A and B are shown apart, each in its own frame.
Chain A
Amino acid sequence: MKLCIRGGRLIDPANQVDTITDIHISDGKVRHIGNDSSDTSAHIINAEGLIVCPGFVDLSVSLPEPGKQQKGSIFSETRAAAANGITSLCCQPDTAPVVDSASVATLIQDLALQSGFCNVWPIGALTKGLLGTQLSEMGALKDAGCIGMSNLRAPFENSRVLLRCLEYAASYNVTVFFNAVEHALANDGCVHEGSFATRLGLKGIPETAETVALTRDLLLIEQTGVRAHFGQLSCARSVELIADAQAKGLPVTADVCIHHLLATDDSIQGFNSLSHIQPPLRTETDRQGLIKGVQAGVINAICSHHQPHEMAAKMAPFEATEPGISSLDTLLSQGLQLVKDKTLELPQLIALLTTGPAQVAQLNAGSLSVGAMADMCIFDPNEHWQVSPATLKSNGHNTPLMGKSLQGRVRHTLLAGRQVFSASE
């Protein structure tokens, strides 16, 4: 089937393209960019006034399947991803059972393939059961399609176990995804240790819970030479530490969750459990530090850190609620807010949502060169919409943006040249 995306503004950061043009697609691939009036058989998508870019790559999504079907399904969440321009997502190993065996990794990919909305790349568990004591079968997990291994925010029994994990991962050229947290310092806290935590009487997580762990992790990365990625940084100091490591030549990348670029710990006022997220939202100084990290290229990607929950998970006193925000539906609009605020240029934002994360996960995605897979997002940067249960595509309605008016909405999403989402349908 042939397809022509006509008259849109093509932004393809990998090829430094930003121009109004046509894109011709056949057999799932980009065939030609520019005018080609000879091609009359193609189905035409009119993209005038719209932005055309590579499909987004999301480095952190918690899929509710297997084991957490009260929160949604692989079908519901990959459909939501497609509706929001995401064509590749990396899913975290926090399923039940966790992704510590090839069979679970395969099951997730099979269900994703059957759903047909989005490429799904599992991140495997770094230790068995995420328990931090025994190495997982990283070789088998890698063979089963895992693009990296992570222990999420679960603790390691001790630093020796972590060291062994990194040594073993390095032997198979496995990327280790870190979520830096020193548990003794986090001390079961649920929010940033700041004046809001003090007023609300909520247990705080100090900045050092992240930076102490990060410093240790960087030293062990240096020792083992493992390729490492730090997910969802929350502190300005963390950005400095990563920048220093990168300057030293360590193979280290980082991402930030979109919420940490836009919100701070004042969002927890009134015990608002919808803003309960791990790592916690921190101060304005931290937010500015993260923004600088993104602008300077220290942070390579922006992720949704999507964690859909059933409402009951949030219907309890703050400390007893499950952390996490349903974010697939708001990722693009929030990103465009950064452009509106003049924090980022539009092509910069798109790079952080496409080539940046694709390079981190070493995926053949995130660009629209001739011959590349036609994974594409076509969006209207000006369309206004209101966040409501009716407009959210994710099964999770747990977002602090509920009721807010946002700008920017996806019109079409193509996966290998096939329309997996169209707003007009």
Chain B
Amino acid sequence: MEPIAESPQLQLTEQGQLRHFLTIEGLSKSLLTEILDTADSFVSMEQQSVKKVPLLRGRTVVNLFFEASTRTRTTFELAAKRLSADVINLNISTSATTKGETLLDTLKNLEAMASDMFVVRHANSGAAHFIAEQVTPNVAIINAGDGRHAHPTQAMLDMLTIRRHKGGFENLSVAIIGDILHSRVARSQIHALKILGVPDIRVITPNTLRPYDIESMGVKVYNQMSKGLADTDVVIALRLQNERMQSAMLPSQHEFYSRYGLSCEKLKYAKPDAIIMHPGPINRGVEIDSDVADSDRSVILNQVSYGIAVRMAVMSMAMSGQTTQNNAEGNL
């Protein structure tokens, strides 16, 4: 097994269907729109009393979480169950890898148990990519967050939230605030916003939390909320980890809150109908004020419920693409 130097369109079938969902980067506008449309149909299904569809009946989905997570794992589990799949949750950080088993061996074992889909969260950037490319290419891989690289389902549920509340993307001004450096969510959001045609994408952050040359991803960088928030339609606050104070990234929580915390006062710079988003879990009084988080402009809880629909959409699309590809290659 030799690593291959190039991975052209690793996540797509030869016909351009999704077979893994690893990153937003490189996907087409029509594919992202298809995900949003499919998710929309699942959102309306959630209003019904019977919430299940048989799209993944007889399939086994393994939630492989190498990093702790409650909400993301739960929404993936719910999404898989509503698609009628059998679901196994594995919290690997407390099992095999502490016994010295490598990621490679763990996955080979799970593949041998005839799994159809892995939902992977891992602390290393590129982990999902590695698994899809090198380890188990015939299992559909859904990236549930890898290091600082990508969190594509989170970005897509954010896009669904924006589309449902703003009607589209073409004329929007969107600001992402806070710890961009460590944020896989921000990176995936930026790619998605760009592809879907948002003309004005901004990040607001001190330079210690600003990735090198983030401008090359098509964003404008602001150090100050007054300028960065001016006339924005969508305001996204990111979670600030406590560790940032210890590693000399920031002086204190208080200083961060006073400069970058989303308060009613600072929100006045944005458009009056601007919506407030946050990938959660929120730190009240750090990156966002309670008054803002609980206001009628906040769509934070809508994001959570759309999360299930988006994950159902991505899982059903990837499973269908992977099955087509495996049939074409004669793997099944």
Contacts and interface: CB of A to CB of B under 8 A. Distances in A.
A204 B214 CA distance: 13
A389 B2 contact: yes
Interface in A186-203: 193-195, 197-203
Nearest to B122: A317
Contact of A271 (B1, B102, B126, B213): B126
A272 B3 CA distance: 8
Contacts of A320: 103, 124
Contacts of B127: 317
A317 B130 CA distance: 6
Contacts of A355: none
Contact of A319 (B124, B184, B213): B124
Interface string A83-127: 000000000000000000000000000000000000000000000
B150 interface: yes
A314 B103 CA distance: 12
B146 interface: yes
Contacts of A230: none
Nearest to B147: A201
B10 A270 contact: yes
B1 A311 contact: yes
Interface residues of B, number: 34
Interface string B178-217: 0000001001000000000000000000000001111011
A311 B2 contact: yes
B193 to A, nearest CB: 15
Interface in B63-109: 102-104
B46 interface: no
B329 interface: no
Contact of B103 (A198, A274, A317): A317
Contacts of A193: 212
A397 interface: yes
10 contacts: A195-B216, A202-B147, A271-B130, A272-B3, A273-B130, A274-B3, A312-B102, A316-B130, A317-B147, A319-B124
B7 interface: yes
A397 B2 contact: yes
A219 interface: no
A198 B133 CA distance: 21
B1 A201 contact: no
A363 interface: no
B290 interface: no
Interface string A402-418: 11000000000000000
B216 A198 contact: yes
Given A271-B130, A317-B130, A200 B216 contact: no
A383 B42 CA distance: 61
Contacts of B126: 200-202, 271, 317-319
A400 interface: yes
B147 A315 contact: no
Contacts of B150: 201
Given A270-B10, A317-B122, A402-B5, 16 more contacts: A195-B216, A197-B212, A199-B217, A201-B147, A202-B125, A202-B147, A202-B148, A271-B126, A271-B129, A271-B133, A274-B5, A311-B3, A312-B102, A317-B125, A317-B127, A319-B125
Contact of A270 (B6, B147, B211, B216): B6
Interface string A174-214: 00000000000000000001110111111110100000000
Interface in A64-95: none
Nearest to B104: A315
Contacts of B25: 199
A317 B124 contact: yes
B134 interface: yes
Contacts of B19: none
A198 B130 contact: no
A315 B134 contact: yes
Contacts of A202: 125-126, 147-149
Nearest to A315: B104
Given A316-B103, A320-B124, A204 B212 contact: yes
Interface in A15-38: none
Interface in B4-50: 5-7, 10, 25
Nearest to A388: B2
Nearest to A271: B126
Contact of B146 (A311, A317, A389): A317
A39 B7 CA distance: 59
Contacts of A314: 3
Interface residues of A, number: 31
A315 B104 CA distance: 7
B46 to A, nearest CB: 32
Interface in B103-140: 103-104, 122, 124-127, 129-130, 133-135
Contacts of B3: 272-274, 311, 314-315
A198 B2 contact: no
Nearest to A202: B125
Contacts of B129: 270-271, 317
Interface string A282-318: 0000000000000000000000000000011011111
Counting chain B CB atoms within 10 Å of each CB, the highest count among A206, A271, A315 belongs to A271
B147 A319 contact: yes
A320 B6 CA distance: 19
B1 A194 contact: no
Contacts of B130: 271, 273, 316-318
Counting chain A CB atoms within 10 Å of each CB, the highest count among B10, B184, B216 belongs to B216
Interface in B148-171: 148-150
A204 B181 CA distance: 11
Contacts of A200: 125-126, 149
Nearest to B210: A198
Contacts of A389: 2
Nearest to B126: A271
B212 A201 contact: no
A400 B5 CA distance: 6
A73 to B, nearest CB: 21
Interface string A244-279: 000000000000000000000000001111100000
Given A198-B214, A198-B217, A201-B146, A315 B1 contact: yes
Interface in A374-422: 389, 397, 400, 402-403
Contacts of B212: 193-195, 197-198, 204, 206
A318 B211 contact: no
A272 B211 contact: no
Contacts of B2: 311, 389, 397, 402
A198 B125 contact: no
Contacts of A311: 1-3
B1 to A, nearest CB: 7
A389 B1 CA distance: 11
